[in-house]
Amino acid sequence: MLPLILVAIPLIVVVLLVARRVNYGLALITGAITIALVSAMKPTTFLETIISTMADLETLELASIVALIQILAIYMSESGMIEQLIDSIRKLLSAKVTLAILPAIMGSLPMPGGALLSAPMIEDTAGKLGLDSDEKSFVNVWFRHWNFFVYPLSSAIILASTLSGVSLHELIAVQIPIVLLYVGIGYIASLYRITNLKEGGMDQQSRKLIHRILLNISPIAVAVTLTIVGLNMVLALAIAIAYTILVTRISFERAWKALKKVNISLPLAIPGVMIFRYTLNRSGLIEAALPYLTSTYLPPVAVALAVAWIVGLATAMPSAGIALVIPIASAIIGDMSASTASSVYISIIFSYLVSPLHLCLVLTVGYYRSNIHSVYKKLIPSAITAYILSLATLSLIR
């Protein structure tokens, strides 16, 4: 039983720090120190782990990707591309589609507390459709999180791919049915019975609006396309950023000033993630606890999913949950297939979605002045239904 307690101590430390809104990278470094202490790791071994992790190409690449995704989003926002994209969508598409797409677009941008950006964008349209404050909250929270499943520039799915050893393309491929289930269940729960409206309609301006949409979403399309064809994601993002600067003619001075908006804590958190991972691997704690974790007569995957739900609910932060859970799941399960890695990953995402500590949920409920208990009456059944159907789909794929 002692090995289980020793594994639990650093996890509890990280969860408590994250709950207090400590940067999750710093929280994970503290967790790594805790691992070194409880496992009686030699200081020289711990120092070697830190140095090798910081020099590791994988660590540097992940940190660069997280920084570059932010820079791309900032330049698209600074140039007015995001604003024009949203305006064109409102004019071209029906109210129902607009209501689902606008939170999704904002969800694809790496902005902490981004729910406060999408909430006012859909308020007018939601009001025209007759949605009350609880329904607005559900729509904003549900549809802004589609990107976790298939969006190649989502830092969560990139991190999950790296830690699980499953290629990004494979992970996204098995999750295409999941995102379809997710969107479909959200639609049935919130928009299916509502009479639709046209925001602008398909008239002679529609071709111009489609062109504006394609132009303003093209930087993301460039990055995603280059990644799909096999180019290193760092290079793909760098090219997409250069393309954005050229197309929008952002001056050097303005581009330089815009860099001040980068949340440096996000890329700096990546070394914490990797230090925690490698310290845990070298500590021997998981190997010692493995007999206890696998002696429950439950399948190893079920144990890993249970751990994912507990950590996901407690941290309410996908990247922190992924950093904590996937190394443990890998030790319990062994080499993971794409469908198994996806099962662990979506457990973290769905537990994060319904966690009472989920920042997007808290901010959305506060903005619309809705009742979180009423929102939960729709959010929890929808999430559980989507999760169970997703696991069933992944079992068929497996």
Q: Which residue did the predictor score with more confidence, 25 or 291? A: 25
CB 47 within 8 A of CB 32: no
3-class SS of residue 198:
strand
pLDDT of residue 375: 92
Confidence check: pLDDT of 328 > 80: yes
pLDDT of residue 180: 96
Query: How many CB atoms are located within 10 Å of the residue 373 CB?
Result: 9
Average pLDDT over residues 176-185: 96
Domain that holds residue 26: 2-397
User: Closest by alpha carbon to 345, among 331, 328, 325?
Assistant: 325
User: Closest by alpha carbon to 350, among 102, 146, 99?
Assistant: 146
Q: Which residue did the predictor score with more confidence, 184 or 287? A: 184
3-class SS of residue 317:
coil
Share of the chain above pLDDT 90, in %: 35
DSSP one-letter string for 83-152: HHHHHHHHHHSBHHHHHHHHHHHHHTS--TTTHHHHHHHHHHHHHHTT--HHHHHHHHHHHTTTHHHH-T
pLDDT of residue 296: 65
Average pLDDT over residues 209-215: 88
Q: Which residue did the predictor score with more confidence, 218 or 111? A: 218
The count of domains in the chain is: 1
Average pLDDT over residues 365-388: 92
Average pLDDT over residues 152-168: 92
User: What is the value of pTM for the model shown?
Assistant: 0.83
Confidence check: pLDDT of 343 > 90: yes
**In which band, very low, low, confident or very high, does the pLDDT at 126 lie, cut at 50, 70 and 90?**
confident
First to last CA, the chain: 33
Mean pLDDT of all residues belonging to the chain: 86
pLDDT of residue 136: 93
**In which band, very low, low, confident or very high, does the pLDDT at 318 lie, cut at 50, 70 and 90?**
confident
Q: Which residue did the predictor score with more confidence, 289 or 138? A: 138
266-296 tens-digit pLDDT: 788 889 888 988 898 888 887 787 777 666 6
Confidence check: pLDDT of 199 > 60: no
Return all residues near 300 (Cβ < 8 A) that are at least 6 apart. 294, 332, 333, 334
Average pLDDT over residues 111-117: 65
Q: What are the b/e assignments for 65-101, b being 16+ CB within 10 Å?
A: bbbbbbbbbbbbbbbebbebbbbbbbbbbebbebbbb
216-257 tens-digit pLDDT: 889 988 988 998 888 888 999 999 999 999 999 888 888 888
Confidence check: pLDDT of 204 > 70: no
Alpha carbon distance 357, 76 (integer Å): 30
**In which band, very low, low, confident or very high, does the pLDDT at 10 lie, cut at 50, 70 and 90?**
confident
Phi/psi at 198 (nearest 5 deg)? -100, 130
Q: What is the DSSP letter of 260?
A: G
82-105 tens-digit pLDDT: 888 888 888 888 888 888 888 888
**In which band, very low, low, confident or very high, does the pLDDT at 112 lie, cut at 50, 70 and 90?**
low
Share of the chain above pLDDT 70, in %: 95
